[in-house]
């Protein structure tokens, strides 16, 4: 039995090790959850030769709490009332009640099938039994290793529907269905209004070179000679004809679109709308080019995109937050906010496959389209 407990502890420590190397671990405030479930248990008690089990099926109740250490691994502790198994002999009858409590390591891979996310668990549970009536039974093991499989479906950002099957011992099986809840300490639907824009450090500001005035070299111009008078005969009479004026010069405006993009996954902090130093420098250069140009800027379309990791609604909100972060930063550099239009597409328009890290990095981007007007003289 001690070997089973040691194996469970090794699984838990492995989950903690994964959490220490996670690239994008959740905040502590949002990583824990609680849940409850009801279901049906199959109980086959042992310990008597003069009685038999008359009712193996029973209604069960379960409470559990968990901690997401990484995006796909965590720990859970639980308590369950597995119900009663009916016992009967030739002259007597009774029942035995099962209760269990334990801990398990939970693995939830980052894949979904029609919105359903699978899960698997391994852990150890301690059982207590209580006989009711005139008959007595005996549990095979007080502590037992157990395995479980199941699936979760997200009803909202913080409520999941979970179905599970757990096998504790050869005489105990458990099916259950329930809900779990995790806290959300910030409103993701209003994240655009709460983005904090950090002003660039003085050392990171792009400073354009100052123009150097070079005075023109003096050029010697010799004086013009005195005009020579030439006597010409009287001019011939000039016949005045009707003059046809030249056609007017038409100035035709031409609209031109200039595309720019912040992509590659290195312009924002991971899972955040906060610009990195590299992203700030690129926006400094873009703002300088716009202000130094003679072109008339009529509008900027700023569109955010993400990869497919995470919930669809969370990715949509994050893409719009990154677009708002870029717009606010350009406004601080002197670009008129009224000519900017913002949009977020989430994970709906990938440039590359989301099955590789390189493809997901290309899909985490903010696209900027600058609309300028040039006048063409014909």
Using one digit for the tens of pLDDT, what is the confidence trace for 82-96? Answer: 998 887 877 778 888
Pairwise pLDDT comparison (126 vs 194), residue with the higher score: 126
- Give me the chain's average pLDDT, please: 80
Of the candidates 273, 359, 357, which has an alpha carbon nearest to the alpha carbon of residue 316? 273
**C-beta separation of 199 from 324 below 8 A:** no
Going from N- to C-terminal start, the domains of the chain cover 2-18+26-185, 249-377
Q: What is the pTM of this model?
A: 0.45
Instruction: Select the CATH number that applies to the domain covering 2-18+26-185 from these four: 2.40.160.20, 2.30.290.10, 3.20.20.80, 3.40.50.2300.
Output: 2.40.160.20
Give the SS3 label for residue 12.
helix
Q: What confidence score (pLDDT) does residue 190 get? A: 44
- Rounded distance between C-alpha atoms, residue 371 and residue 150, angstroms: 52
Statement: residue 122 has pLDDT above 60: yes
Whole-angstrom Cα distance, residue 62 to residue 79? 6
Reduced to 3 states, what is the DSSP secondary structure of residue 2? Answer: helix
pLDDT at 101 exceeding the cut of 90: yes
Q: Are 264 and 361 in contact (CB under 8 A)?
A: yes
- Both tokens of 279, joined, read 């992203």
Query: 174: helix, coil or strand?
Result: strand
Give the architecture-level CATH label for domain 249-377.
Answer: 2-Layer Sandwich (3.30)
DSSP characters for 32-68? EEEEEEEEEEEE--B--SSEEEEE-EEEEEEEEEEEE
List pLDDT tens digits, range 300-330.
899 999 888 888 888 899 889 989 999 999 8
Q: What is the pLDDT of residue 74?
A: 92
Summarised one tens digit per residue, pLDDT across range 207-257 is: 778 888 788 888 777 888 777 777 677 777 776 666 677 676 666 667 776
Annotate 101-132 with b (16+ C-beta within 10 A) or e (fewer).
Answer: ebbbbbbbeeebeeeebebebbbbbebebebe
Pick 102 or 9 by higher pLDDT: 102
Measured CA to CA, the distance from residue 322 to residue 329 in angstroms comes to 11
- What's the confidence (pLDDT) of residue 24? 43
pLDDT in tens, 284-298: 988 888 877 767 888
Q: pLDDT value at position 215? A: 81
Q: Which of 125-129, 260-264, 278-282 is the least confident region?
A: 260-264
Segment 179-199, tens digit of pLDDT: 999 887 655 444 444 445 555
Compute how many other C-beta atoms are within 10 angstroms of the C-beta atom of residue 253: 10
Indicate if the pLDDT at residue 165 is higher than 50.
yes
Query: What is the pLDDT, as a whole number, of residue 13?
Result: 45
* Fold match, 2-18+26-185 / 249-377: no
Helix (H) / strand (E) element for 31: namely helix 28-31
- Min mean pLDDT across 24-28, 258-262, 366-370 is at 24-28
* Strands 296-305 vs 340-344: parallel, antiparallel or unpaired: parallel
Q: What angle do CA 108, 113, 114 make, to 5 degrees?
A: 130
């Amino acid at each position: 039995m001690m070997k089973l407990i040691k194996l469970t502890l090794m699984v838990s420590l492995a989950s903690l090790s994964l959490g220490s190397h996670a690239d994008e671990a959740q905040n502590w405030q949002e990583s824990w959850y609680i849940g409850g479930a009801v279901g049906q248990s199959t109980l086959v008690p042992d310990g008597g030769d003069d009685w038999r089990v008359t009712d193996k099926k029973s209604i069960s109740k379960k409470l559990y709490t968990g901690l997401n250490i990484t995006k796909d691994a965590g720990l859970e502790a639980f308590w369950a009332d597995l119900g009663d198994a009916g016992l009967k002999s030739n002259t007597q009858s009774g029942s035995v009640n099962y209760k269990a409590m334990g801990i398990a390591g939970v693995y939830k891979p980052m894949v979904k099938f029609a919105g359903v996310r699978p899960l698997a668990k391994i852990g150890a549970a301690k059982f207590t039994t209580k006989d009711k009536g005139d008959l007595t039974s005996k549990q095979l093991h007080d502590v037992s290793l157990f395995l479980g499989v199941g699936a979760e479906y997200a009803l909202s950002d913080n409520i999941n529907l979970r179905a599970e099957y757990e096998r504790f011992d050869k005489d105990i099986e458990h099916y259950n269905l329930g809900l779990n809840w995790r806290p959300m300490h910030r409103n993701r639907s209003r994240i655009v209004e709460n983005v904090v824009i950090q002003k660039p450090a003085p050392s990171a500001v792009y400073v354009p070179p100052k123009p150097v005035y070079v005075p023109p070299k003096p050029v010697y111009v010799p004086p013009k000679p005195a005009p020579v008078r030439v006597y010409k005969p009287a001019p011939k009479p000039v016949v005045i004809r009707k003059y046809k004026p030249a056609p007017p010069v038409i100035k035709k405006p031409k609209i031109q679109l200039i595309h720019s993009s912040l992509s590659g996954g290195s312009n924002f902090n991971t899972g955040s709308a906060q610009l990195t130093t590299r992203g700030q420098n690129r926006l400094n250069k873009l703002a300088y080019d716009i202000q130094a140009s003679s072109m008339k800027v009529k509008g900027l379309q700023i569109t955010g995109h993400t990869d497919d990791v995470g919930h669809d609604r969370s990715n949509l909100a994050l893409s719009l937050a990154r677009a708002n972060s870029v717009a606010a930063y350009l406004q601080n550099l002197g670009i008129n906010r009224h000519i900017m239009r913002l949009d977020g597409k989430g994970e709906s328009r990938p440039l590359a496959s989301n099955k590789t890290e390189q493809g997901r990095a290309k899909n985490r981007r903010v696209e900027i389209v600058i609309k300028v007007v040039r006048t063409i003289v014909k």
